[in-house]
């Protein structure tokens, strides 16, 4: 009895010594393997960045939210701070964690976030429209910014943008309208980050773009599901792109499905070394490179992209490249892009190369040709069918007269049109493109 109470006192002392700065309902546990000695087997296994594996990490949990307004953002920040340098924050299955405040996440170093539950943002439009992180590129805003190094976000849970109120509020507006001030947050944004892995999770109903990778090196998504839907037929989700990037080197997307009404995968300026495999896109605006060269005096580029085994259903575009022309365009290049094994169904424009973006007619495009060089582009093994919206045209390759647009190759293109023999349109491309093609003037669309 004496011994027991003594132990109890000691245990209490330890708990209370730590307890005063642990938020209600939170916990920190140190793995028993933690004490494993080097050379003894435990603790020697490393993840791909040379850091501890999950079992060897300090685990932090926080209380879940009681309802959709119960903000746990301060607890979440606390948990990430505790997880710095080799810890893990676990958001547990069946629980919802509500973020209702603009918070500065710590600059992370070697942190795992195991997302098995739901991390959900409040839909207080008025609050978020006056509290956000702002990016001048296309006037983007976001709830929070992930930055730092060696960040792994994984599990079977969901990051939920709670977009319905945003869709209702944005109905009738357009993002490209320069007077638009109805800003909508991006669900997941990395900035100034290196080595970010996202695995297994679902991104649901983002108010605007689903992911935006900025100034990031080596970011990968595997086995991710992205969906945006509305319960209100007069307010559909808009601009809920699957993947956008800016100034990113090393972007990998594998085994991923995207079910949204805008771009499926669309790296933006200065994205290099892109690898995409087993991507499924439904109802989207396609897999697009660019647009590039939008801003006068600014150099943009996209290079070294390999995209393989892509399925594109019920969309506006399939594989697309777009570069600006006209009196106010910028300059740069799109180089070394390969699309291989692409299956397309019920899609308006299966293959598009447009060097007279955006909506610049032939006369203006000839007067102000694009200063974005497009080189070394391959479209290999495309199967399936267009929707017929563009008549018999299944591929439309339009370069601007006098611009650099060369080494464009099509091979194994077996796309059909419901309107008759499929046509491939080509304008102003230098050199042979590998298939028969006709000029836009002769096309049956």
Ligand X SMILES: *[C@@H]1O[C@H](CO)[C@@H](O)[C@H](O)[C@H]1NC(C)=O
Contacts with ligand X, residue ranges (CB under 6 A): 107, 148-149, 168, 171, 192, 232, 234-235, 246-247, 259, 269-270, 278, 280, 282-283, 298-300, 304-306, 309, 311, 314, 331-333, 336, 341-343, 361, 363-364, 373, 381, 383, 388, 391, 404, 414, 418-419, 445
How far apart are CB 221 and ligand X at their closest, in Å? 14
109 vs 131, which CB is nearer to ligand X?
109
How far apart are CB 216 and ligand X at their closest, in Å? 10
Cα 184 to Cα 121: distance, rounded to the nearest angstrom: 12
How far apart are CB 184 and ligand X at their closest, in Å? 13
Instruction: Please state whether 129 falls in left (phi above 0), alpha (psi between -120 and 50) or beta.
Output: alpha
The burial class, CB within 10 Å (0-12 / 13-18 / 19+), for 26 is: middle
Instruction: Please state whether 238 falls in left (phi above 0), alpha (psi between -120 and 50) or beta.
Output: beta
Q: Any catalytic annotation for residue 343?
A: no
> Which has the closest alpha carbon to 171: 160, 179, 162, 182?
182
How far apart are CB 96 and ligand X at their closest, in Å? 22
96 vs 195, which CB is nearer to ligand X?
195
Catalytic residue among 56, 160, 244, 262: 262
> Which has the closest alpha carbon to 380: 412, 353, 419?
412
> Which has the closest alpha carbon to 124: 74, 158, 161?
161
Q: Any catalytic annotation for residue 90?
A: no
**Beta pairing class for 243-259 and 225-227:** parallel
36 vs 388, which CB is nearer to ligand X?
388
72 vs 246, which CB is nearer to ligand X?
246
Cα 140 to Cα 295: distance, rounded to the nearest angstrom: 16
Question: How is residue 322 written in tokens?
Answer: 């777009």
How far apart are CB 91 and ligand X at their closest, in Å? 24
User: Is residue 389 helix, strand or coil?
Assistant: coil
Name beta bridge partners: 374. 334, 405
Catalytic residue among 150, 285, 390, 396: 285
113 vs 151, which CB is nearer to ligand X?
151
Active site residues: 262, 285
């Amino acid at each position: 009895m004496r011994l027991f109470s003594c132990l109890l006192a000691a245990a209490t002392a330890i708990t209370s010594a730590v307890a005063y700065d642990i938020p209600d309902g939170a916990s920190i546990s140190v793995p028993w393997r933690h004490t494993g000695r080097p050379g003894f087997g435990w603790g020697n296994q490393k993840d791909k960045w040379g850091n501890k594996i999950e079992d060897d990490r300090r685990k932090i949990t926080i209380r879940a939210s009681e309802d959709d307004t119960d903000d746990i953002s301060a607890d979440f920040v606390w948990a990430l701070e505790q997880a710095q340098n080799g810890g893990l924050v676990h958001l547990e299955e069946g629980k919802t964690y509500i973020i209702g405040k603009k918070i500065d996440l710590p600059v992370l170093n070697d942190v795992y976030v195991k997302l098995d539950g739901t991390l959900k943002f409040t839909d207080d439009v008025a609050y978020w429209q006056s509290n956000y992180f702002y990016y001048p590129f296309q006037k983007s805003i976001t709830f929070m910014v992930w930055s730092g190094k060696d960040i792994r976000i994984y599990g079977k849970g969901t990051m939920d943008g709670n977009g319905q109120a945003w869709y209702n509020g944005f109905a009738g507006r357009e993002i490209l309208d320069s007077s638009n001030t109805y800003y909508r947050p991006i669900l997941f944004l990395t900035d100034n980050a290196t080595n970010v892995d996202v695995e297994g999770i679902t991104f649901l109903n983002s108010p605007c773009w689903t992911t935006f990778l900025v100034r990031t090196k080596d970011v990968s998504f595997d086995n991710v599901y992205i969906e945006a839907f509305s319960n209100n037929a007069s307010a559909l989700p808009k601009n809920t792109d699957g993947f956008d990037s800016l100034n990113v080197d090393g972007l990998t997307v594998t085994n991923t499905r995207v079910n949204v009404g805008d771009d499926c995968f669309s790296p933006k300026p200065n994205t290099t070394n892109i690898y995409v495999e087993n991507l499924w896109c439904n109802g989207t605006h396609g897999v697009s490179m660019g647009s590039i060269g939008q801003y006068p005096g600014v150099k943009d580029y996209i290079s070294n992209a390999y995209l393989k085994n892509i399925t594109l259903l019920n969309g506006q575009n399939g594989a697309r490249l777009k570069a600006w022309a006209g009196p106010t365009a910028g300059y740069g290049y799109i180089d070394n892009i390969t699309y291989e094994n692409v299956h397309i169904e019920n899609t308006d424009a299966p293959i598009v190369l447009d060097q007279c973006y955006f909506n610049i007619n032939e006369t203006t495009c000839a007067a102000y040709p694009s200063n974005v060089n497009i080189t070394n582009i391959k479209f290999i093994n495309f199967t399936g069918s267009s929707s017929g919206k563009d008549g018999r045209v299944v591929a439309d390759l339009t370069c601007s007269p006098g611009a650099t647009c060369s080494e464009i190759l099509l091979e194994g293109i077996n796309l059909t049109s419901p309107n008759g023999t499929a046509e491939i349109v080509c304008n102003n491309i230098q050199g042979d493109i590998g298939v028969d093609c006709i000029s836009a003037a002769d096309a049956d669309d």
